[in-house]
Amino acid sequence: MTDTMTRITLARRPKGLPTPGDFTLETSKVPTPGADEVLIAVTHLSLDPYMRGRMDDAKSYAPSVDIGGTMTGQGVGRIITSNADGFVPGDLVIGATGWASHAVLPTDGLRKLDEALPPSTALGVLGMPGMTAWTGLREYGRPKAGQTLVIGAATGPVGAMVGQLAKAAGMRTVAVAGGPEKCRLAVETFGFDAAVDHRAYDDAASLRRALAEAAPDGVDIYWENVGGKLLEAVVPLMNVGGRVPVCGMIAWYAGVDGDGTDRLPGLWRSVLVKRLSVNGFIIFDHWDKFPDFLSEVAPKVASGEITYLEDIAKGLENAPAAFIAMLQGGNTGKQIVEL
């Protein structure tokens, strides 16, 4: 076994979009687990949009990464050494490993994985993003057959799962995705009824015209992954009684640009007059339902009824570049790093 490990730390807080210089690749000695702890060799790391927020020093629902601290994240790996009951060397587990080749962790946040499934699925379709889609759609979207759903970042792990579940519930599903290839994937791989390329429209008004054609009966669920131009385009198309699960707003994660003209008051007036339900939600509040999610969705993933895409970067040293690309749409499917 190697006695050195690598990790990616936060070198400085980014302004806007992160750059490679905001991260440092460090080498150190592999730590020794204490009582009730295990040592894990990480094989797969998840890259997620929320990590951009952890790089800021702003108050949020979760703590920031300290300067010099290991970037936070979920990883899958095999236990090398165990000082904890119930876990033995060789066990495949998921936990908060951070962006690192090895991690010493207590076992309370660890979960053993089903060896029959590809390990990376625990980070995407059968992990936090899949669970977010399943929970948010049931709790806040409340799909109804014959109605229409619109979702951005539609080929990502949240969007692809929401689209497939809504379609299975009998909805018309409209994907918003970046570029013709992702639009093709949305329809051909994930079964969306229509796809609109947000990159083809410079402003909200022209994007709205394209969405109105794709959603001729109006929009009943707008699943908010994106914010920005898409939010402005969709809200006027919403039907009375529409639902807006507010899951994320990746267009604004690296800061807000534009001409400084605030259009939100007009948009949110639509929320009022159309009596829209708008629910912000953070998946951690629903984690007790994770076993229900797995028992319903894992068999459908195994049978192919629910499909998924992964975008695998190779090597921990390439995690920063893959993360920066993901924040701009460079990923196709769930972004994973294979170590």
Ligand X SMILES: NC(=O)c1ccc[n+]([C@@H]2O[C@H](COP(=O)([O-])OP(=O)(O)OC[C@H]3O[C@@H](n4cnc5c(N)ncnc54)[C@H](OP(=O)(O)O)[C@@H]3O)[C@@H](O)[C@H]2O)c1
Structure tokens given for 179: 């570029």
DSSP state letters, 114-130: -TTS-GGGGGTTTSHHH
The mark string for 128-147 relative to ligand X (x by CB under 6 A, - otherwise) is -x--x---------------
Which CB atom, from 139 or from 317, has the smaller least distance to ligand X?
Answer: 139
Q: Are 166 and 154 in contact (CB under 8 A)?
A: no
Which residues 187-246 are close enough to bind ligand X by CB under 6 A? 198, 225-226, 228, 230
Under the criterion CB under 6 A, does residue 248 sit at the interface with ligand X?
yes
- CB of residue 162 to ligand X, shortest distance in Å: 9
The span from the CA of 112 to the CA of 175, in Å, is 34
Residues whose CB is less than 8 angstroms from the CB of residue 330 and which lie 6 or more positions away in sequence, other chains included: 322, 324
Question: Which listed range, 5-13, 139-147, 277-285, 316-324, lies at the site for ligand X (CB under 6 A)?
Answer: 277-285
Q: How many residues bind ligand X (CB under 6 A)?
A: 31
Burial 284-296 (b: 16+ CB within 10 A, else e): eebeeebeebbee
Under the criterion CB under 6 A, does residue 247 sit at the interface with ligand X?
yes
The span from the CA of 319 to the CA of 30, in Å, is 20
Which CB atom, from 77 or from 248, has the smaller least distance to ligand X?
Answer: 248
- CB of residue 151 to ligand X, shortest distance in Å: 9
Under the criterion CB under 6 A, does residue 283 sit at the interface with ligand X?
yes
Task: List interacting residues with ligand X (CB under 6 A).
Answer: 48-50, 129, 132, 152-153, 155-159, 177-178, 182, 198, 225-226, 228, 230, 247-248, 250-251, 281-283, 326, 329, 331, 335
